[in-house]
Amino acid sequence: MSTLPMTLSDPSARPINAPAASSDRAIGWWLVACCVLLFAMVVVGGATRLTNSGLSIVEWKPLVGAIPPLSEAAWIETFAKYQQTPEFKLKNFDMTLDGFKGIFWWEYFHRLLGRLIGVVFLVPFLWFLARGRLSPELRWKLGGIFLLGALQGGMGWYMVQSGLVNEPRVSHLRLTAHLGLAFVIFAAQWWLALSLLTKPEPRTVPKGLRRFSRWVVAIVFLMVLSGGMVAGLRAGYAYNTFPLMHGHVIPPDLLILDPWTSNFIWNMTTIQFNHRMIAWLLVLLIPLLCWRTWRAGLSRTTSLCVIGLLAALAMQFALGVATLIHVVPVPLGVAHQGGAMALFCMALTLAHRLR
C-alpha cells in the first residue's frame, strides 16, 4: 500500500512537536497571550484575597455581571445585598458605601479578567477551527483547556459561596482547588505553546534527567497547593520569624489536633510548616537539577532555561521570607503569588526542553 508523505500543508498530519509552520506559530503565540492574561488573573486574585474583597459581589451573573453599577441607586442596591452577608454583619458592619466601592472594584476586575480570558481563548479557537488550522490532536487539547476554563469559573463561584453562608471567609479547601486549577490551565497552555513555538533539545537527554525535571514540576505544584492552604487559613500570620518558627525547628503545636491527620487540613501551624518544608526541599532539588543539566552538556537554550529557573527560585524564596517576616503586606503577598507562577513557568520550560 502506498502512503502519501506527511507535509506541513496538511494540518491533520502535522505533529504538534514539529518545527512550527506559520499557523502553528500563530496558535502558539495566541496561547502565550492567554498565559500572560492568566498570570495577571492570578496576581489580581491575590490582591483580591489580601484586600478582603472577594465576598463583595454576592451574585454570579456571567453575562449581566460584566456591567458594574452605573448609578447611585444601583450602587446602593449592590451595597444592600452585601450588607446581608456574614462578612458585613460580623466584620464590616461600620463600612460606608465609599468603603464598599473600594473592595467591590478588586473583585469586579478579577471577574472581568476571567471573562476576558474566556473571550480571548474562545474566539481565536473558533476561528482557527473554522479555518481548518487545527489538527485533530490540537482540537481535542484546546477543547479540553476550554472546558477546564469553564470549570474554573464555576469553581470560583463555588469558592465564593462558602463565604456567604455562615462564616465571613471562603473555604480554604475550595480556594486551594481554585488556585490549583488555574495553575493546571496555565501548564496545559504553556506546554502546548512551547511545543508549537520551540524546537526540541538537539542533544541526547539522559532519561533520569527528564524524570527528575518532571518531579521538580510536580513538587513546585505541590508547593503552590500548600500556599493556597496557607492563604486560605491565613496561616502566614501565625509564625512570622525565619528560619525558626518562634525559636523552634519543629513547633510544639504541630500535631495538637485529634485525629492527627486533621492537622494537615485545619492546623495553621502544620500548614505553614509544610509550606516551609516544601520550599526547603525545592531549595535543594532545583540547584541539583540545574547542576545535573549543566553537566549533561546540552544546548545554550537549555542552559538559559537553567539560569531562569535558578533566578525564579531565588526570587520566590526571598519574596516568601519577606512576606512572612513583614506579616503579609499586600504588595509582598501579591508579588509572592505571582512569583509562584513564575517559578512554575520556568520549571515547566526546563522540563519541556528535557522532554
Range 166-177 average pLDDT:
92
Q: So what's the pLDDT on residue 1?
A: 38
From CA 108, how far away is CA 300, in angstroms rounded?
44
Write down the pTM of the prediction: 0.91
Q: Where are the domains of the chain?
A: 19-198, 200-355
Range 313-331 average pLDDT:
96
Q: Name the least confident of 10-24, 189-203, 259-273.
A: 10-24
In SS3 terms, 287-353 reads as: HHHHHHHHHCCCCHHHHHHHHHHHHHHHHHHHHHHHHHHCCCCHHHHHHHHHHHHHHHHHHHHHHHH
Q: Which residues of 22-52 are buried (b: 16+ CB within 10 A; e: fewer)?
A: ebbeebbebbbbbbebbbebbbbbbbbbbbe
Q: So what's the pLDDT on residue 181?
A: 97
pLDDT tens digit sequence for 229-279: 999 999 999 999 999 999 999 999 999 999 999 999 999 999 999 999 999
Per the prediction, the chain carries an average pLDDT of 91
What value, to the nearest 5°, has the Cα angle with vertex 39 and ends 36 and 42?
155
From CA 334, how far away is CA 35, in angstroms rounded?
18
Range 125-146 average pLDDT:
94
Q: Name the least confident of 16-20, 227-231, 256-260, 319-323.
A: 16-20
Torsion of CA 189, 194, 200, 201, to 10 degrees: -100
Residues 154, 312 contacting (CB under 8 angstroms): no
Q: Residue 17: pLDDT above 90?
A: no
From CA 340, how far away is CA 244, in angstroms rounded?
22
Q: So what's the pLDDT on residue 21?
A: 62
pLDDT tens digit sequence for 88-121: 999 999 999 999 999 999 999 999 999 999 999 9
Q: Cell 451574585 sits at which residue?
A: 59
Which has the closest alpha carbon to 313: 334, 293, 284? 284
pLDDT tens digit sequence for 45-87: 999 999 999 999 998 888 777 899 999 999 999 999 999 999 9
Angle of the 330-353 helix axis to the 22-50 helix axis, nearest 10 = 150
Burial class (CB within 10 angstroms; exposed 0-12, middle 13-18, buried 19+) of 7: exposed
Q: So what's the pLDDT on residue 355?
A: 86
Q: So what's the pLDDT on residue 61?
A: 85
Q: Cell 524564596 sits at which residue?
A: 317
Q: How confident is the model at residue 201 (pLDDT cuts 50, 70, 90)?
A: confident
User: Which residues, other chains included, contact 273 with Cβ-Cβ below 8 Å and sequence gap of 6+?
Assistant: 245, 250, 251, 254
Q: Residue 160: pLDDT above 80?
A: yes
From CA 223, how far away is CA 230, in angstroms rounded?
10
* Helix residue ranges, H only, the chain: 22-50, 72-82, 86-90, 97-130, 136-161, 172-197, 207-233, 263-266, 268-295, 300-325, 330-353
From CA 283, how far away is CA 64, in angstroms rounded?
46
Q: Residue 8: pLDDT above 50?
A: no
Q: So what's the pLDDT on residue 92?
A: 92
